[in-house]
Amino acid sequence: MFDKLEDLLIRFEEIMSELHEPTVTQNPERFRKLMKEQSDLLPVVEAYREYKKCNRDIEDSLMMLEEESDEEMRGMIKEALNESRENAARLEQELKILLLPKDPNDEKNVIVEIRAGAGGDEAALFAAEIYRLYVHYAERRRWKVETMYMDEIGIGGMKEVNFMITGKGAYSRLKYESGVHRVQRVPETESGGRIHTSTVTVAVIPEVDEVEEIAIDEKDIRIDVMRASGNGGQCVNTTDSAVRLTHYPTGIVVYSQTEKSQLQNKNKAFALLRAKLYDMEQQKAHDAEAQLRRSQIGTGDRSEKIRTYNFPQGRVTDHRIGLTLYKIDKIMNGDIDEILDACIAADQAAKLAKMNEM
């Protein structure tokens, strides 16, 4: 690990030297790549430099202890030595985490698909609440939300909703939301006061840039335009602005109907299609991960759950990490950082354990 850290430190210093050369600004693409690499390396370099300083402090303290005879001074030196050792141990653990393989999609924007699963109208109502949960969470992080498609029912629920969240690191956090979310509560339409269980499925897919190699042959696509349905503004519902794309080779069908312009809806639909095709390619390339992802997303069956929202008890339980929080109102208002932080920590711990076995 420390040989690798030394190599990264040397590379960082090479980048900094090159960035100070006048000619590098004349090549914008090279300058951009160097700045990106410098930004990626900076947290590792800073932690490693601090770690090396702690080790120097430990050596200095040990030397001082050998030479010092005054007990009061020795006590102060020992206190400083213990602090340096604690900091060094903490930084070593941080460095192990920083050196874990990065998910290349972590910095990307995401496309989120929410579908009502088992539970009829109650599932559709909960799908709408999960959608609002993510909108509130995005607002907390100052991310942008763009709705792409929404299939609403008359009582305020949603059979399906697709939307894009744009913001730095959106995928790195929201990827842990993929799976089946289960709700337990008494529906408003339940006269007997019985608790019902319903589910929604959430899929989080990284956005794919047009320049990425996702080949979409025009002859493989059928483009249909139509009048938007459901709730919407006057122009949205009275012009043929909605777009549906059918991809023949995969059978994927995507919709976009939230914009007034047919061109805007077409662009959104193609963005969703590219993301879905990219996601399929990633699944083929990583069979083990793909199997895990399919089991997480499932088909809305109650048994394939990652999280339960129990309203009568006011609790939310994430079953993957065994975390239960009794603040369902805050969570439904977008306060999910505690859950996501715990998922990230568990993921990192599993990767570290696997790395230590090798």
**Tens-binned pLDDT, residue by residue, of the chain (358 aa):** 788 888 889 999 999 988 888 888 888 888 888 888 898 899 999 999 999 999 999 999 999 998 888 888 999 999 999 999 999 999 988 898 888 878 888 888 999 999 998 888 899 999 999 999 999 999 999 999 998 888 888 888 899 999 999 998 899 999 999 989 999 998 876 667 788 899 999 989 888 876 556 767 778 888 888 776 654 444 444 466 788 888 888 888 888 877 777 888 888 888 888 888 887 777 666 554 544 444 443 334 434 689 999 999 999 999 989 999 999 999 999 999 999 999 998 888 888 887 766 5
For residue 119, being part of any structural domain is answered with: yes
Answer yes or no: do 171 and 94 share one domain.
no
Answer yes or no: do 27 and 145 share one domain.
no
Residue 128 is part of a domain; what is its CATH number?
Answer: 3.30.70.1660
Answer yes or no: do 82 and 185 share one domain.
no
Question: Which backbone phi and psi does 319 adopt, to 5 degrees?
Answer: -75, -20
For residue 358, being part of any structural domain is answered with: no
Answer yes or no: do 93 and 176 share one domain.
no
For residue 7, being part of any structural domain is answered with: yes
For residue 105, being part of any structural domain is answered with: no
In the sheet with 221-226, reading across from the earlier edge strand, the strands are 221-226, 242-247, 252-256
For residue 132, being part of any structural domain is answered with: yes
Answer yes or no: do 80 and 48 share one domain.
yes
Answer yes or no: do 139 and 251 share one domain.
yes
Answer yes or no: do 94 and 114 share one domain.
no
For residue 103, being part of any structural domain is answered with: no
Distances (CA, A) of 54 to 67, 120, 170: 20, 60, 34
Residue 42 is part of a domain; what is its CATH number?
Answer: 1.20.58
Domain end call among 98, 119, 135: 98
Answer yes or no: do 156 and 232 share one domain.
yes
Distance CA 40, CA 20 (A): 18
Answer yes or no: do 88 and 130 share one domain.
no
Identify the domain containing residue 184 by its residue range.
Answer: 110-348
Q: Which DSSP string corresponds to 102-161?
A: PPTTTTS-EEEEEEE-TTHHHHHHHHHHHHHHHHHHHHHTT-EEEEEEEEE-TTS-EEEE
- How many domains, in total, are found in the chain? 2
Domain end call among 71, 98, 125: 98
Answer yes or no: do 85 and 139 share one domain.
no
pTM of the predicted protein model: 0.71
For residue 232, being part of any structural domain is answered with: yes
